Amino acid sequence: MSRHDHRRSGPRSKRNQTPPPPGWRGWFVLTLFVAFAVVLAGRAFDLQVLDQAFLTKEGDKRHLRSVSVPAGRGVIKDRNGEPLALSAPTESVWAVPGAVLEAPEKIAPLARELNMPVSELRSRLESYKGRQFLYLRRQLAPTDARAVMAVDAPGVFLQREYKRYYPAGEAAAQIVGMTNIDGRGQEGLELNRDDYLHGEPGSRRVVKDRVGRVVEDLAEFQPPQAGHDLRLTIDSRMQYMAYRHIKAAVVKNDAKGGMVVMLDPTTGELRAVASYPSFNPNDRDSIDPSGVRARAATDVMEPGSTVKPLLLAKALDSGLFDTDDVIHTKGWFMVGRLTVKDFRNYGDVDFAKILQKSSNVGAAHVGLKMGAEGVWRAYNDFGFGDITGSGFPGERFGVLKDFYEWNNVETATASYGYGLAVTAFQLIRAYGAIADDGMLRSLRLIEGEGADMHVPPRRVLKAKTARTMRHLLEGVISPAGTATKAAIPGYRVAGKTGTARKAGSGGYNADRHQALFVGMAPAEKPALVTLVMLDEPKKDAYYGGAVAAPVFAAVMRDALRLLRVPPDDPSVLTASADTRSNGAGT
């Protein structure tokens, strides 16, 4: 290289060299790192020491849980303390779907213990894998639940619940009602008194891990408050008898349905309310909606001839008629365009014969003399057109149109039970007044705590009139009356038959009837009043005396023996016992 080249390249090499950084830059960076470390340390000190509660709270949000502790639902009991509805502890199986899917080998044995197809279980887990809670099976027996847990599948847990059980089954189902799977009332008194029976759940604080397992049970515990027990006026023994007899009668007569209601007239307490068809509240899958409603409270019917004692009692009580007054009939008469007819020409009839033969003509003459307002007030005084005070959900008011809308035709037909509609509760309550010497009482289904307030009983008949009417009604059960099949050996029985045609879209149907009998025993001082109704009996007979009266006799015979009511004629029972004793020795 020439000297010239060397001189030219020397300065260029100097210019390409990088000068060293200034010393102050290193100190600046170091200062920044130190300051950042001091800030981090200060924040950590603040969170860990000064503001520890904040971190604890944030951690608790992710791990602490409040677990509900179920409360036992109150027991529904009959008047003797026998359970009609009670709750049994069960276990429900729930899962964290994602955790279960992480162990696919556990799905098949888990499905087997849950009595579920494997494909169904896997599909449900996949569908809800983003959730932290999924019920797999509700309300298992404890032994079945232990078998599920023995599979040892991850993310599967048990939850204590209570399952409602009904010892009386279908016999008392429509009155007691039922709950849903979550223990809330759905029908009957279970619905009507749901808040009273339900109770308040408790709670406990626990620590759970990411898959929902309880890893620590903390000391915070709020105990559950059990629901209140409910005692009914129903006697379960009489309820069973009533249901058994009405079910047999419906089947025997190929009827659409039927009911039996039994009343203690001195207190207004209902002893049995049974109807068929019914339902089994212990088997929800088999429930037919047509059997759920309590027909005695919710279904209305034209009472037919069963209103005649009420009409005649009021006519006697007002002084407008006397029992010896004679009404001239010829088997029929005209009221406007209406022909009022009897089964046959009974000639001259007094009150005893009007009831004994169930004369429409005689009752219509009495009603027309009382007038529209008099007939209306008679029925209204006995509680028609008003609820009975039973407290049962869905109870109907019935139909009793204002009397100013009545003409002579409507007054006449109302006199023998057409043109108005009542519930079985209303009808038996009215007969209870005749049985209790003229006192009309509110009906009662619940006694003690949880019961409704009731208006005091009121007098609707003079005591003498009520006793006279009971004596007249004994004639209906006599050999000359329409209800000989209602007789009970050894007891004096008073009652009245009724047979009402059912109305349809085209008027009254000659082939559809309701057969009724309402009676009481012993007639001198009744211990029970019983109503029997069969809806649309289709066999040979459909009259109340032929279809409903025998059911009354069977139910009342059993009930009077159960209550140990002394017979009016003990010799009849003694002779019957002797006959059975002699028969046993042959």
Give the SS3 label for residue 324.
coil
- Residue corresponding to tokens 């025997």: 252
d(CA 174, CA 445): 13
Contact status, residue 266 vs residue 228, Cβ threshold 8 Å: no
Structure tokens at 172: 């008392």
Please list, in sequence order, all residues whose beta carbon lies within 8 angstroms of the beta carbon of residue 77, skipping any fewer than 6 positions away: 83, 84, 229, 230, 231, 232
DSSP H/E element including 561: helix 544-562
d(CA 314, CA 306): 14
275, 278, 305, 390: which is the annotated catalytic residue? 305
- Residue corresponding to tokens 């279908």: 170
Q: Report which of 232, 298, 238, 231 is spatially closest to residue 274, judged by C-alpha positions.
A: 238
Which is it for strands 76-77 and 230-232: parallel, antiparallel or unpaired? parallel
d(CA 413, CA 410): 5
Exposure string for 467-505, b = 16+ CB within 10 A, e = fewer: bbbbebbbbbbeeebbbbbbbbebbbbbbbbbbbbbeee
d(CA 296, CA 428): 10
d(CA 574, CA 564): 15
User: Which residues are 332's β-sheet partners?
Assistant: 341
Please list, in sequence order, all residues whose beta carbon lies within 8 angstroms of the beta carbon of residue 71, skipping any fewer than 6 positions away: 198, 199, 200, 201, 202, 224, 225, 226, 227
Annotation marks residue 2 as catalytic: no
Where on the phi/psi map is residue 336: left (φ > 0), alpha (ψ -120 to 50), or beta? left
Residues 279, 284, 288: CA angle, nearest 5 degrees: 45
Catalytically active residues, by annotation? 305
